[in-house]
């Protein structure tokens, strides 16, 4: 999101941090403080050992094996996620099932603000289904990423599925640390 990228680029530059996107950590050698990463560029795969003082690593994500191997998994998704229509928030192949905690192709992160927002919507949708048989509700998505940028500063990133800002604290400027 451009609104936040500008602020984060300034923070990264201020600390002299080298960011490496789309890389896969292959090995950490603690004795030499080097990490081996693999990356694909122009169709070629290469690996590189880089020195580190501090490293933040985001693990690869996928559905659990029992979901990947079940009929619930989307066969076209290599990570084995359940295919979900994100607006009514129902599984495409099993429309009568709501993907409560399924590892679906939803932009729901494993943080309390997202769960609180989603649970409320899902509960209301489920109750509407029980009473009328169908729910007309639509879930617009919500993500909250509190990013610590210094000991006493942070950037609160809140947005919906369409990438629009979705602030929950009206007086807070989401584009400032």
* Domain definitions of the chain by residue range: 2-59, 61-106, 109-177
pLDDT (0 to 100) of residue 14: 94
| Distance set, CA 167 to CA 31, 87, 113, 173 (Å) | 45, 20, 12, 9
In angstroms, the CA 171 to CA 79 distance is 39
Pairing type for strands 44-51 and 84-85 reads: unpaired
Pairing type for strands 23-29 and 153-159 reads: unpaired
Residues forming a β-bridge with 159: 143, 165
pLDDT (0 to 100) of residue 119: 66
Task: Determine the 3-state secondary structure of 10 from DSSP.
Answer: helix
Does 129 or 111 have the greater pLDDT score? 129
Question: What residue has token string 């129902």?
Answer: 90
Closest CA to 61 of 113, 99, 104, 90: 104
pLDDT tens-digit profile of 158-170?
887 777 888 887 7
Record the pTM: 0.59
Residues forming a β-bridge with 165: 159
pLDDT (0 to 100) of residue 139: 67
């Amino acid at each position: 999101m451009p609104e936040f990228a500008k602020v984060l680029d300034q923070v990264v530059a201020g600390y002299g941090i080298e960011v490496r996107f789309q890389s896969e950590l292959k090995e950490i050698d603690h004795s030499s403080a080097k990490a081996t990463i693999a990356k694909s560029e122009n169709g070629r795969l290469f690996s590189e050992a880089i020195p580190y003082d501090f490293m933040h690593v985001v693990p690869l994500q996928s559905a659990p094996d029992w979901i990947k191997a079940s009929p619930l998994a989307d066969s076209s998704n290599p990570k084995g996620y359940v295919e979900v229509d994100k607006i009514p928030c129902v599984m495409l192949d099993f429309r009568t099932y709501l993907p409560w905690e399924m590892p679906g192709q939803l932009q729901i992160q494993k943080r309390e603000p997202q769960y609180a927002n989603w649970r409320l919507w899902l509960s209301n949708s489920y109750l509407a289904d029980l009473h009328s048989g169908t729910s007309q509700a639509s879930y617009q998505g919500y993500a909250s990423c509190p990013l610590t940028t210094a000991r006493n500063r942070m950037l609160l990133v809140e947005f919906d599925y369409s990438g629009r800002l979705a602030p929950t604290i009206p007086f807070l400027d989401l584009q400032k640390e």
